[in-house]
A and B are shown apart, each in its own frame.
Chain A
Amino acid sequence: MKIVVCVKQIPDPASPYQLDPESYFVVRPNDQVLDDTDRYGVEVALQLSDELGEDASVTLLSMSPGGSQQGIRQALAMGADGAILIEDETLRGADALTTSQILAAAATRAEADLLIAGTESTDGYTGVVPQQVAEIMGVPALTFARKVEHVDGKLRIERQTQAGYDVVEGALPAVLSVTSGVVEPRYPTFKGIMQAKSKPVETLTAADLGVTAKVSQKIVSVEEVEGRQAGDIIEDDGEGYLRIIEKLEEVKVV
């Protein structure tokens, strides 16, 4: 089984983000790190691959106009076999749909049986890419998985919902998006870090994939988020708990 995992390289979340004053795009440093939420996708892929033995391979897929490889190196050091890097200046500022078209084309070209992604990226938060990719590829989308099993050539997941979870099954090929509770990602080992240097990284452009980047979305302005309002303080006169229950009912959590 050929497993392809989408990994996004993002500016280090520990450093404050800056927006370009004209395009409002996030200013991206040369070296970007692996989006933490993607470590879960990588771990799911590696576990499936370990289970399937030699018949499985794990390839990373990343679109990174600046050509950063630091984040990819981390995922390779965790144990992935190789990577495909889409490096193309015309993709700078690509919107979610363009990104999905590129990723779908690359996954199809790589003959992926399973494409794994996180649910949303930590820098963009659009949260629509996995579903779009599945639609473009014409394959099932198994989303928000909090548990993943490979049973009889099919994928069975527990899909996290607001109320609990749904059990969802789908045939391969498929797109799978995983939440960050799904598995405990492994550390890259030191040997893995050494080996990652010599693992194959294939670099492609949009043209190689037969996709013309047509960024149809423009950020017209950016506004500061309103500061949070101070919370309500409930003085407990012995029946404070009733007020708390009312509040919880108001926000529909009980």
Chain B
Amino acid sequence: MSKNPIGPGTPDPLDFLNIDDELSVDERLLRDTVRQFVGDRILPNVAEWFEEGSIPKELGKEMGALGMLGMHLDGYGCAGMSAVDYGLACLELEAGDSGTRSFVSVQGSLAMFPIWAYGSEEQKQQWLPGMAAGDLLGCFGLTEPDSGSDPGSMRTNARKDGDDWVLNGAKMWITNGSIADVAVVWAQTDEGIRGFVVPTDTSGFSTQDIHHKLSLRASVTSELILEDVRLPADAVLPGVAGLKGPLSCLSEARYGILWGAVGAARACYEAALDYSTSREQFGGPIGGYQLTQRKLVEMMVAVNRGLLVALHIGRKKDAGTLTASQISFGKFDNVRMALEVAREARGILGANGITLEYPVIRHMNNLESVITYEGTNEIHTLILGQAITGINAFS
């Protein structure tokens, strides 16, 4: 018999396993701060942004003032928080909307991170403080119209012309592309794939927004077009060559996503729980019927499990013992889980579930992007498959 008795009482339906107990006072404070920001600034407006297909650019400054942009990086105006802190912020942001979390992921993990990790001191000084403050926005150009899961096949290239570099090509599905002040663009060179820091006002650089999206509508998605974009020699990121450069950025961003997805799932579960205990049919709340209870329980378990996975991976990242394939575990399972929860919640809300009055269909549609970007579910499956069999299914 265990020394400690099993106590009475009913756990909090919104934190069934009391995972809150695993967080420090500061982690809870940070989480509560972001939750409050999302409650004040995102939730009252996001349905409208989604309907309009826009996100206000000034949101970047508000997030920068709080310290959210590049928060997990040290120095250069960044807040220097832990991986778990960053994860908690992503979770709360995505409980608002995947678009807002994407905004922060792209700025911090995809645009600031490569400059911070591989940039020269001059590049860091030039860009990072303004990006941390949200005065300057960044984007990340890796994916191309014909090169998605296989980034090594990219056609965008940079050739030397005297001391200068000249870039040509196109990048597709670029979050914040047309509102960015700086783009980190990956291109083929004679030395393999290199990263370039491209001010977006450079001659030959242009963007075209992607319209008619039915997902991530509260987010700007663009195509970047590079036509003889001439850059000085010091525009290249000196610290990295080869695919490992962009892939390391993706690992950072995927890490944030595996937390963020839990936020989207939690928002859907909470909406479904609230709805099913107040919506009455056949003389009682629909949450009293067995079919609905089954769905709610599956969601609750999934959300708690996803959060435990995220927290475990986060603690490993802070301890310096995390591998890229463990990030794939989280991205693979948590986004899949969130999408299932969102679809189930959509069903519980019935007809109301298809309107922007409730958050579920917005999350459901957003998660169709989240399960595709930053490594599709299929790619993460194959990363995991390779990790456990030792056999690479890509080649």
How many Å from the CB of A73 to the closest CB on chain B? 6
Main secondary structure of the interface of A (DSSP, over half): helix
How many Å from the CB of A132 to the closest CB on chain B? 31
Known contacts: A187-B36, A190-B30, A194-B81. The answer to whether A69 contacts B66 by CB under 8 A is no
Please, how many angstroms separate the alpha-carbon atoms of A70 and B32 in the complex?
12
Q: Does A191 contact B (CB under 8 A)?
A: yes
**Using Cβ atoms and an 8 Å threshold, which residues of chain A touch B79?**
189-191, 194
Please, how many angstroms separate the alpha-carbon atoms of A241 and B197 in the complex?
68
Please, how many angstroms separate the alpha-carbon atoms of A73 and B12 in the complex?
24
Known contacts: A189-B66, A190-B68. The answer to whether A74 contacts B29 by CB under 8 A is yes
Are B29 and A188 in contact (CB-based, < 8 A)?
Answer: yes
**Using Cβ atoms and an 8 Å threshold, which residues of chain B touch A193?**
26, 29-30, 33, 81
**Using Cβ atoms and an 8 Å threshold, which residues of chain A touch B26?**
73, 193-194, 196-197
Give 1 or 0 for each of B12-26: 1 = CB within 8 Å of chain A CB: 100000000000011
Q: Does B28 contact A (CB under 8 A)?
A: yes
Partner of A77, one of B29, B37, B80, B85: B29
- How many interface residues does B have (CB within 8 Å)? 19
Please, how many angstroms separate the alpha-carbon atoms of A187 and B67 in the complex?
11
- How many interface residues does A have (CB within 8 Å)? 16
Known contacts: A15-B12, A189-B66, A194-B79. The answer to whether A69 contacts B25 by CB under 8 A is yes
Q: Does B65 contact A (CB under 8 A)?
A: yes
Q: Does B71 contact A (CB under 8 A)?
A: yes
Q: Does A149 contact B (CB under 8 A)?
A: no
Please, how many angstroms separate the alpha-carbon atoms of A31 and B26 in the complex?
12
Please, how many angstroms separate the alpha-carbon atoms of A74 and B32 in the complex?
10
A52-104, CB < 8 A from B = 69-70, 73-74, 77
Are A194 and B80 in contact (CB-based, < 8 A)?
Answer: yes
Please, how many angstroms separate the alpha-carbon atoms of A69 and B25 in the complex?
8
**Using Cβ atoms and an 8 Å threshold, which residues of chain A touch B65?**
189
Give 1 or 0 for each of A181-215: 1 = CB within 8 Å of chain B CB: 00000011111011011000000000000000000
Please, how many angstroms separate the alpha-carbon atoms of A189 and B132 in the complex?
13
Please, how many angstroms separate the alpha-carbon atoms of A29 and B214 in the complex?
46
Please, how many angstroms separate the alpha-carbon atoms of A194 and B27 in the complex?
10
Partner of B28, one of A70, A187, A190, A197: A70
**Using Cβ atoms and an 8 Å threshold, which residues of chain A touch B67?**
189-191
Partner of A190, one of B12, B25, B66: B66
**Using Cβ atoms and an 8 Å threshold, which residues of chain A touch B66?**
187, 189-190
How many Å from the CB of B8 to the closest CB on chain A? 13
Please, how many angstroms separate the alpha-carbon atoms of A236 and B389 in the complex?
76
How many Å from the CB of B131 to the closest CB on chain A? 15
Most buried by B among A73, A77, A191: A191
How many Å from the CB of B284 to the closest CB on chain A? 22
Are A70 and B25 in contact (CB-based, < 8 A)?
Answer: yes
**Using Cβ atoms and an 8 Å threshold, which residues of chain A touch B12?**
15
Q: Please give me the residue from chain A that is nearest to B20 by CB atom.
A: A31
Please, how many angstroms separate the alpha-carbon atoms of A193 and B81 in the complex?
9
Q: Please give me the residue from chain A that is nearest to B28 by CB atom.
A: A70
**Using Cβ atoms and an 8 Å threshold, which residues of chain B touch A191?**
67, 79
**Using Cβ atoms and an 8 Å threshold, which residues of chain A touch B25?**
31, 69-70, 73
Please, how many angstroms separate the alpha-carbon atoms of A31 and B28 in the complex?
11
Q: Please give me the residue from chain A that is nearest to B41 by CB atom.
A: A187
**Using Cβ atoms and an 8 Å threshold, which residues of chain A touch B32?**
74
Q: Please give me the residue from chain B that is nearest to A16 by CB atom.
A: B12
Are A73 and B29 in contact (CB-based, < 8 A)?
Answer: yes
**Using Cβ atoms and an 8 Å threshold, which residues of chain A touch B33?**
77, 187-188, 190, 193
Interface residues in chain B, defined as those with a beta carbon under 8 Å from any beta carbon in chain A: 12, 25-26, 28-30, 32-33, 36-37, 65-68, 71, 79-81, 85
Q: List 17 A-B contacts (CB under 8 A).
A: A31-B25, A69-B25, A70-B25, A70-B28, A70-B29, A73-B26, A73-B29, A74-B32, A187-B33, A189-B67, A190-B68, A190-B81, A193-B29, A193-B33, A193-B81, A194-B79, A194-B81
Top 3 nearest A-B pairs by Cβ distance?
Answer: A190-B67, A190-B79, A70-B25
